[in-house]
Structure 1
């Protein structure tokens, strides 16, 4: 009797596990290329988690390669993936778009996915997080909590949509706020970012938005030493200090991987450039610091809810 009961329970667990799987459809095997490492605890780690989600949800083999930065390395890695019958490849960054476009015709059975680039071939897609709204809400929070009425941004490039959004949100919350901008021109230059932070602090900035996932951690750590405030970027960075990180603007790359894989499996993944926002469940605001008053938190939650429903930001 006990043996029969054990077999029944094992079958139920097996069926339950299988029921969570998604039909893999056109999906065969999946590869991912990252320019640095999957162990950076921010962007690279999010991509790796997305890859593991696909492996679990679709029951397919997945592969990844780290430190793939130039065209030659990309082409070599793609050739290896092809040998393994991979038919969906994620290039986890903007640096992959151009090379993917150039080699796409050579690999017609593979669909190439990159980020923040310009996909021009029928089997290439570029993904972009719509960062304007998350920047807007981050800017509102920074302006609300500033006592010097001076807040700062350390970004990588001026084209980042969250930068414009941050400035607009700050001005909406407090028309008298001053927003100072600094750029590293490199996603991973932590030393330069910390140097730019010193310049902002010299100008009495008391809230900083380090909008670069390769340098935001050292910047926030120094902000914490100074007893000032930060807005987290890409991940919920409240764990770096709940009294320092007022909130975070979160991009759920791992969820986006699952969305893209599902579309590919169903045969509905479009080529070209695709954008994703709060409404797609891949962008959200992080936990608020206990330093942020409850009244403002409630207001922010109403604004975010309205934006999800209507696409309209406060005016």
Structure 2
């Protein structure tokens, strides 16, 4: 008996949590699937923190599986997790929505949750961030702080709403600022991201929005070497350098997963696509660099609060 407890404690943060008080509601056990690793300091780490928060809230065993990057691998993982009694599986990315739509009929007792996808089956849910506003505020900061009047967005895909928001926010803050945009066409192609970054630096861009959670850390490290600046993405990345990270646009996906688990536990989690924005408290701005003037920080906080209250971005307030 002592050996079993010791083993459980040893692996608590690696594979599963030791049994606490089991949820008395609908949730039995939860699991997280990530496309790469939980140790990337950004996206995967945020998802893992959400899983740990679910365990803290409900107790019981939790599980995670890395490198879940194909339908075949995901379905094998789901079979294994079903055998362990898991009835809430979170796929940490938009790609999981399609996988879950295709396989969920075989597992009617499991609720499948994906992120930023299109959930179409009765036992599937997709949690979606409305990301235009966070991009808008990030663009305002970049435009205000640029010395060259040239800033850059290094995005994963052209459908990202935060890219459009960033461009509009920069234009609102300073119409003289030019915004260069390049697309990596993938979340984690570090080599291509750095190639595009070098091109943008040679064009004179001095502040960047690396909107791809799989490559933004190496991009930021390169910017530090070049003594240039960035707007952090997904996480508060000020820990990477307070004189490099001017602020961050933060998506608290870990909090969102806990909310989804709470709804599921009460059997109240809706099927289909659910949308969340700044008003829901899951998208925030990170701390500001000491390089950003206090007066401008105060102005940004005012605009941010007005958006929370009215749902209108600064350019829309001016129009009104």
Distance 1:150 1:184 in 2: 20
Shift of 1:72: 0.9
Counterpart secondary structure, 1:38: coil
Match in the other structure for 1:122: 122
Give the direction of change, closer, same or farther, for the CA distance of 1:278–1:24 in structure 2 (3 Å limit). farther
Q: Is the 8 A contact 2:22 2:28 kept in 1?
A: no
| CA offset digits 1:219-240 (Å, max 9, x no partner) | 1111111111110111111111
**How many residues were matched structurally?**
295
Distance 1:291 1:119 in 2: 43
Q: Is the 8 A contact 1:138 1:249 kept in 2?
A: yes
Q: Is the 8 A contact 1:118 1:126 kept in 2?
A: yes
Indicate whether 1:280 and 2:243 are aligned. no
Match in the other structure for 1:96: 96
| CA offset digits 1:183-217 (Å, max 9, x no partner) | 00011111111111111111111111100011111
Indicate whether 1:176 and 2:176 are aligned. yes
Give the direction of change, closer, same or farther, for the CA distance of 1:22–1:203 in structure 2 (3 Å limit). farther
Distance 1:164 1:311 in 2: 17
Indicate whether 1:31 and 2:20 are aligned. no
> Which consecutive residues of structure 1, in runs of 5 or more, have no partner in the other structure?
1-20
Distance 1:261 1:44 in 2: 18
Distance 1:72 1:220 in 2: 34
| CA offset digits 1:82-133 (Å, max 9, x no partner) | 1111111001111211111111111111110011211000100111111111
Match in the other structure for 1:305: 305
Q: Kindly report the root-mean-square deviation, in angstroms, between the aligned alpha carbons of the 2 structures.
A: 1.2
Match in the other structure for 2:55: 55
Counterpart secondary structure, 2:39: coil
Q: Is the 8 A contact 1:54 1:60 kept in 2?
A: no
Distance 1:268 1:222 in 2: 45
Distance 2:176 2:129 in 1: 29
Match in the other structure for 1:109: 109
Match in the other structure for 1:11: none
| CA offset digits 1:134-165 (Å, max 9, x no partner) | 10000000000011111100000010010000
Distance 2:199 2:94 in 1: 29
Q: Is the 8 A contact 1:22 1:57 kept in 2?
A: no
Match in the other structure for 1:68: 68
Distance 1:127 1:22 in 2: 25
Match in the other structure for 1:138: 138
Distance 1:22 1:229 in 2: 47
Counterpart secondary structure, 2:314: coil
| TM-score normalised per structure 2 | 0.90
Q: Is the 8 A contact 1:233 1:249 kept in 2?
A: yes
Shift of 1:22: 10
Distance 1:283 1:23 in 2: 28
Match in the other structure for 2:85: 85
Q: Is the 8 A contact 1:24 1:59 kept in 2?
A: no
> Which consecutive residues of structure 2, in runs of 5 or more, have no partner in the other structure?
1-20, 316-320
Match in the other structure for 2:11: none
Distance 2:305 2:61 in 1: 38
Indicate whether 1:295 and 2:295 are aligned. yes
Distance 1:147 1:34 in 2: 39
| CA offset digits 1:154-186 (Å, max 9, x no partner) | 000010010000001000001121100000001
Match in the other structure for 1:14: none
Counterpart secondary structure, 1:225: helix
Shift of 1:60: 2.4
Task: Work out which of the two has the higher radius of gyration on C-alpha atoms and give 1 or 2.
Answer: 1
Distance 1:102 1:218 in 2: 35
Runs of 4+ in structure 1 over 4 Å off: 21-24
Q: Is the 8 A contact 2:249 2:286 kept in 1?
A: yes
